Amino acid sequence: LVFFSVISSHIHTSSGLGAKDHYKVLVLGGGSGGITMAARMKRKVGAQNVAVVEPSEVHYYQPIWTLVGAGAKSVASSGRPTASVIPSGVTWVKSKAAEFDPKNNTVHTDAGKKISYDYLIVALGLELHYEKIKGLPEGFEHPKIGSNYSVKTVEKTWNALKNFKEGNALFTFPNTPVKCAGAPQKIMYLSDAFLRKTGKRSKANIIYNTPSPKLFGVKKYADALWEIVKKRDLNINLRHNLIEVRADKQEAVFENLDKPGETKVYKYEMIHVTPPMGPPAVLKGSLLDDEAGWLDVNKNTLQHKTYANVFGIGDCTNLPTSKTAAAVAAQSAVLDRNISRILKKQTPDKIYDGYTSCPLVTSYNTVILAEFDYDGQPLETFPVDQSKESRVMYHMKADFMPLLYWHGLLKGFWGGPGPYRTIMHLGMK
């Protein structure tokens, strides 16, 4: 019996085998938002009425890549076959969404298939644009350069760090929206810790160049990070944007955003590049995007502003909050409730407060757990001051969060810490 159920669930999740042309709920994207919503919708409408459109064979838990780049975790531990995370019985359409036709409730795939839906959940994530920096991505063929944002380049970060001799260690942030806005500086703190541990710190000049006018968007945590920066002798240059990498010469070129036309060349012994990012190409210029190309949703209900049977979750949306897996978790609970109400012909009543979280890894055993809302106000789960470096929070990030991700979020059971926050604070705000 077990054997037959495995076979039949495999048939459901292979491309096109047993795949229909119409689904009650169609989910675009098999990342964290898409898989959690597929699991939740399966419980509402039945597995046979849900499909996920996703071309990738492997699903990655990306938050752990910060620790992979610092040599603390293996890249292999971050990935699992997509087939293993698609909820059993849900159809996996193994292709890419190529075109939207929301007026006719239809999506066209790149395999030439038309799929119609009653409800559409867009969870397409965002796209990395290394090519917008002159000299990349081809520069990654050289040593001493890495990026924790791609499975292809994350181990290159660790190679650059462990082979560091002396000189500048450069860390960059792009002039675009990004996912996990803390990650570009987490690798700087970890590199500092590694160089101290290996006795090379005195030979290193650590530099973080960001186009932003601030170190971090939320003042409470920014203040704590500035303290760490001073204590550890890290150099922060605000309003500095990376425009070119000359990997053959180990040089990086930055523009000064406060003095247009002014550029500066930095030599490096190691560089970690955070690429410019943008909305999925398929969204840009479609009937579903806003003027910047992101999915245009109501920031409270996550329902599309024009098409009432279209919803969005995660990095592809124009929600004015930080793009993280923690935000996806909180959004999934809101979306679950609101779609359930719409299925019963009721009005959506659950409101997303913008909750997002960023465990700011500050060393190999400490984390500052930033949690905040749309207004950039701290929204902390634990009854302690989370702007203080904590060992417990490090273990939560490195060991507990991956378990919660694979077994909680992707199964549609984790909707963020909202309910627990109330208990932890005994009802206090």
Write the DSSP string, 118-178.
Answer: EEEEE----EE-GGGSBTTTGGGGSSSEE-TTSTTTHHHHHHHHHT--SEEEEEE--SS--
Name the H helices within 199-343. 219-231, 325-343
Cα Rg for the chain, rounded, in angstroms?
22
Contact 386, 371 (CB under 8 A): yes
C-alpha angle 227/231/233, rounded to 5°?
115
Q: Is 392 left (phi over 0), alpha (psi -120 to 50) or beta?
A: alpha
Q: Could you give phi then psi for residue 90, rounded to 5 degrees?
A: -80, 140
Q: Which of 358, 369, 409, 410 does the annotation list as catalytic? A: 358
User: Which one is catalytic: 35, 85, 133, 180?
Assistant: 180
Q: Give me 286's structure tokens.
A: 């479609």
Q: Between β-strands 235-238 and 240-246, what pairing exists: parallel, antiparallel or unpaired?
A: unpaired
> If we measure between CA atoms, which residue out of 301, 354, 350 comes closest to residue 326?
354
Query: For residue 26, what are the CA distances in angstroms to 23, 285, 389?
Result: 6, 21, 42
CA-CA distance, 302 to 296, in Å (whole number)?
9
CB 126 within 8 A of CB 278: yes
Length, in residues, of the chain: 429
Told to judge if 358 belongs to the known catalytic residues of this protein, a careful annotator would answer yes
State the catalytic residues.
Answer: 180, 358
